[in-house]
Amino acid sequence: MGAPSLMLEVFYHTHQNNDLQKLPIVAKLVPESPFLREGFNIEITFNKEVRAYTLVAPEFHKLQKEKGIPENEMLDVFPKYYGSRSNKQDDINMEADDSAVLLMENLKSSGYEVGDRRKGFNLEHMELVLSKLAQFHALGVALKLLKPQVFKDNILKTCEKFEIGDPDDDEGNEKIIIANINHIKRIAEVIPYLEKIEKCFRDDIQMKKERRQYPIREPFSTIVHNDFWVNNMMFKYEKASMKTIGKKSSPTGIKFVDFQVTMHASPVRDLIFLLFSSSEHGLLEEYYDHLIQLYHKEFVRLLTEVGCDTRGFSYEDFLEEINVVAPQEFVHSLFMLNPICADPSSIEETSSMNHDSLLKNSGGKDYDKKVKCLIKMFVSKGWL
């Protein structure tokens, strides 16, 4: 979960070809709340996001260009980057401070819209998201295989380790466990699994307390967004016509945002979190296999297109990767369903957020449905 940041709309006027150009930009600043700054390790995570724009995006574009992929077929999911400053010293190798600012494209002004986090994506939207996510992951793998030094210097630099919350705050961590168990024990179908679920939370917290991480698995390891749900992507649609007024047309473009918590891990981490946090009700029960196959097909297609050896990336290999890695996303997914499904009227201003406000539950039926789907499918697949 990336930190809620302060976003300001900026209009930059520039003279070009003797014409006055108005350039729509957003300025992303560090959050005002001391709680959010400390809890989300802003000194580190702000710089991680800057590096996603300055190190990862250019290398992804460069590789595709070198391999002859036409411009209109390239993966293009990063908003335009206009500049940044991490601290008063203007040194990204130092920790970010109160003066940090990231200037990037105002996607709303460019015609992009965010989805409905409580409802989630329908099949058409999810297919588009998965195809682009697969390409994003595949380009990371391709750089690892074809340009290992670039992967080390640029991609792994962006995946710098960080901490969310205080692993040593025993009282706060106990509150997290109790709050989440209290939220789900109201759901009758979940009661038989409460003991297992609580153990998952306690094991996860203990792992963080000991500063342990899941081992890197090859050959699938890549750059992972690590917070990939509805609010962290935006869609562009065809302009409204007489036929489409009053209903949403098909999405024609997509951008990813909030690269604060990227990590070097299995792409399955993003895949599973996306599916269980951001699917509309009933989608996974009907289309899970189709969506997994679609992701894998697109992942291998791009690896092949840029000249990678795809042995070791078969569908059977991928299913094994899912079975090993999916359980690692259970706590993350279950914890995030609470804020994802929260009633908008109950969400506090970021400047006044504290530990307790993150644990409130106001998700209602949307929360209950997503929790039941998550636990039912994890149990049926042997992941819980």
Q: What is the pLDDT of residues 105-155, one digit of tens each?
A: 999 999 999 999 999 999 999 999 999 999 999 999 999 999 999 999 999
What pLDDT is attached to residue 244? Answer: 47
Helix, strand or coil, per DSSP, at residue 28: strand
Q: State yes or no: pLDDT of 29 exceeds 70.
A: yes
Q: Is the peptide bond before 344 cis (omega within 30 degrees of 0)?
A: no
What does the pLDDT average to over 313-334?
A: 98
CB atoms within 10 A of CB 365: 10
Q: What is the pLDDT of residues 146-187, one digit of tens each?
A: 999 999 999 999 999 998 888 889 999 999 999 999 999 999
Any idea which fold 70-78+107-380 has?
A: Aminoglycoside 3'-phosphotransferase; Chain: A, domain 2 (3.90.1200)
Q: How far is Cα 247 from Cα 254, in angstroms, rounded to an integer?
A: 19
Question: What residue has token string 């400390």?
Answer: 38
What does the pLDDT average to over 195-207?
A: 97
Percentages (nearest 5) of helix, strand, coil residues in the chain: 50, 15, 35
Tell me, what DSSP letter sits at residue 195?
H
Residue 41 to residues 160, 256, 320, Cα–Cα distance (Å): 12, 21, 33
pLDDT band per the 50, 70, 90 thresholds, residue 242: very low
pTM of the model: 0.93
What pLDDT is attached to residue 174? Answer: 95
Q: What is the pLDDT of residues 202-215, one digit of tens each?
A: 999 999 999 999 99
Helix, strand or coil, per DSSP, at residue 279: strand
Task: Name, in order, each residue with C-beta under 8 angstroms of 104's C-beta and a sequence gap of 6 or more.
Answer: 25, 26, 28, 53, 79, 80, 81, 82
Helix, strand or coil, per DSSP, at residue 52: helix
pLDDT band per the 50, 70, 90 thresholds, residue 246: very low
Q: Closest Cα to residue 3, out of 29, 42, 34, 32?
A: 42
E strands present in 258-339: 263-265
What pLDDT is attached to residue 357? Answer: 63
What pLDDT is attached to residue 93? Answer: 93
Q: How far is Cα 42 from Cα 5, in angstroms, rounded to an integer?
A: 10
Token pair of 247, please? 């209903």
- Exposed/middle/buried for residue 12 (C-beta within 10 Å: 0-12, 13-18, 19+): exposed
Calculate the CA 384 to chain-centre distance: 23
Q: In what order do the strands lie in the sheet with 81-85?
A: 6-16, 19-29, 101-105, 81-85
Q: How far is Cα 371 from Cα 2, in angstroms, rounded to an integer?
A: 21
